[in-house]
Copies of this chain bind each other. A is one copy, B any other.
Amino acid sequence: MQFTSEQRLDDVLEREFTLAEIPGILWTPASASTPVPLILLGHPPLGLQKMYPRLLARARHTAAEGYAAATIELPWSGERPRSAAAEQARADLHRALEAGEPVDDEIVDRLILPLVDKAVPEWRAALDALLALPEIGGPVGYSGGVIAIGTRLAVVEPRISAAVLFAGSFVPRTIVEEARQVTIPLHVLLQWDDEGNDRQMALDLFDAFGSKEKTLHANMGGHTGVPQHAGDDGNRFFARHLK
């Protein structure tokens, strides 16, 4: 892990890094004197640069709560090499959505499963590097989308203790099956009128999670309309489980 930039933004220290050619960003509370818990910030595959304003806002809230926040670029996004298969799957999805057709399971599988397969080991490698830093202790939370990535991480990565998952993308059936193995506390956010996912699939996924403690918070509006109070609820969830 190589840090490539460092800047102080009010009470937050922001450092960009690369890890085996994957770009990432780490935010830590500037005032922390002891190792702090870490929250991994998930995001849709639109590129870190495009997502930066929203990620920074989330990181500021996270740092204000006394946690570090970190994120990495997803496969085939931002500055990373493209995948022809992923582009094709995305084009097929958009064609189905624009035609008002139901989205075929086969398209969802082609779109999401390779992303999950490639991204999850990368997030685990980032976790190795981040937890080796003296300023980061644990426990670790995952927050955000892609919900299929968060689900797989919750199954395979024992260092993640709790997750706030954003039901904002399509979910392959096999991931719904994997969800039964998840046992960590979960807090799932669902935008009821989200154009970018299937509400019933999101409810099926929520139902499938094996966790004894899981909460679904559904709010009105589309993908980016998550109300402030819903974010605050996520903070309180982490306060209960990461301290």
Binding site for B on A (CB under 8 A): 192, 203, 206-207, 211-220, 227, 229-230, 233, 236-237, 240
Write the chain B residue with the least CB distance to A219. B215
The answer on a CB contact under 8 Å between B229 and A220 is no
Q: How far is the CA of A238 from the CA of B5 in the complex (A)?
A: 45
Describe A's contact surface by its main secondary structure: mixed
Q: How far is the CB of A19 from chain B (nearest CB, A)?
A: 36
Q: What are the residues of chain B within 8 A of A237 when measuring CB–CB?
A: 229
In the complex, what's the smallest C-beta–C-beta distance from A3 to chain B, in angstroms?
37
Determine the residue in chain B with the shortest Cβ distance to A193.
B207
The answer on a CB contact under 8 Å between A216 and B214 is: no
A215 in contact with B214 (CB, 8 Å): no
Q: From the candidates B203, B207, B212, B217, name the one contacting A215 in the complex (CB within 8 A).
A: B217
Q: A206 vs B214: C-alpha distance in the bound complex, in angstroms?
A: 19
Provided the pairs A229-B236, A229-B240, A233-B233 are in contact, do residues A212 and B207 lie with their beta carbons within 8 angstroms?
Answer: no
Residues of B within 8 A of A233 (CB): 233
Contact of A220 among B214, B220, B236 (CB under 8 A): B214
Residues of B within 8 A of A236 (CB): 229
- C-alpha gap A227/B213 in the complex (Å): 10
Contact status of A218 and B206, CB under 8 A, knowing A229-B236, A233-B233, A240-B229: yes
Q: A21–B215 Cα gap in the complex (Å)?
A: 41
Which of B211, B213, B217 contacts A216, CB < 8 Å?
Answer: B217
Bound complex: CA of A233 vs CA of B212, how far in Å?
20
Q: How far is the CA of A218 from the CA of B220 in the complex (A)?
A: 15
* Chain B, residue nearest A206 (CB): B218
Chain B residues near A206 (CB-CB < 8 A): 218
- Nearest chain B residue, comparing its CB with the CB of A221: B212
Could you list 17 A-B pairs, sorted by A, with CB under 8 Å? A192-B207, A203-B203, A213-B220, A213-B227, A214-B219, A214-B220, A215-B217, A215-B218, A215-B227, A216-B216, A216-B217, A216-B218, A217-B217, A229-B236, A229-B237, A229-B240, A233-B233
> Once the chains are docked, how many angstroms separate the CA of A236 from the CA of B228?
12
Q: How far, in angstroms, from A215 to B230 measured CA to CA in the complex? A: 9
